[in-house]
């Protein structure tokens, strides 16, 4: 199963993003495909916070439009929303220890642990910081 990071979702939503068309293409392919794919709930929360933030964008996405985007993704019959479950703590603890994670990177460790715990085989992200989690195979689908 492929899981998608916040930055891919933001690239999809924001037309001015330099990789908007690539994000649109990959998300439509996932949503309309037959293979299961996933978005961690933590990435949905972060997506909503980023695209509606007036300090991030001069003209932020309206809350209504951001909610509509999430609702549209949730309509994909192959989408699985993933989050922390029983046994999550040992997986998170291992990611924190292996990557020597502290401070703001704990959020990335949380997402990595959620993906690992839920059997994600590949995490699509434009964030190179996820290389700190060797148990999670990462790929940036926005670049060739």
Residue range 12-70, pLDDT digits in tens: 999 899 999 999 999 999 999 999 999 999 999 999 999 999 888 889 999 999 999 99
Check pLDDT > 80 for residue 144: no
Q: How far apart are the first and last CA of the chain?
A: 21
The answer on pLDDT for 128 being more than 80 is yes
Is 144 among the domain residues? no
Global pTM? 0.92
* Residue 55 belongs to some domain of the structure: yes
User: What is the residue whose two structure tokens read 């330099």?
Assistant: 18
Q: Average pLDDT in the 84-104 region?
A: 93
The CA-based angle 102-108-114, given to 5 degrees, is 120
pLDDT per residue as tens digits for the range 73-84: 999 999 999 999
Classify residue 82: in a domain, yes or no. Answer: yes
**What confidence tier does 99 reach under pLDDT thresholds 50, 70, 90?**
confident
C-beta atoms surrounding 6 within 10 Å: 24
Percent over 70 (pLDDT), the chain:
99
pLDDT, residue 41, reads 97
Q: Determine the average pLDDT of the residues in 80-92.
A: 96
Question: How much is the pLDDT for 78?
Answer: 97
Output the pLDDT for position 57.
83
State how many domains the chain has.
Answer: 1
Residue 120 sits in a domain of what CATH number?
A: 3.40.50.1010
Quote the domain boundaries for residue 97: 2-139
CB-based contact 143:24 (threshold 8 Å) = no
- Average pLDDT of every residue of the chain: 94
Helices and strands (DSSP H and E) totals, the chain: 6, 5
11: which residues sit within 8 A by CB, 6+ positions away? 17, 19, 20, 22, 23, 126, 142
């Amino acid at each position: 199963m492929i899981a998608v990071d916040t930055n891919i979702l933001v690239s999809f939503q924001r037309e001015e993003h330099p990789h908007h068309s690539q994000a649109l293409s990959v998300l439509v392919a996932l949503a309309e495909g037959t293979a299961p794919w996933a978005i961690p709930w933590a990435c949905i929360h972060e997506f909503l916070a980023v695209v509606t933030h007036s300090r991030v964008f001069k003209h932020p996405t309206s809350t209504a439009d951001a909610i509509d985007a999430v609702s549209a993704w949730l309509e994909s019959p192959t989408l699985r929303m993933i989050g922390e479950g029983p046994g999550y703590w040992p997986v998170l603890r291992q990611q924190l220890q292996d990557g020597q994670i502290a401070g703001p990177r704990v959020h990335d460790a949380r997402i990595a642990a959620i993906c690992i715990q839920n059997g994600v085989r590949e995490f699509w992200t434009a964030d190179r910081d996820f290389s700190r989690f060797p148990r999670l195979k990462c790929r940036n689908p926005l670049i060739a």
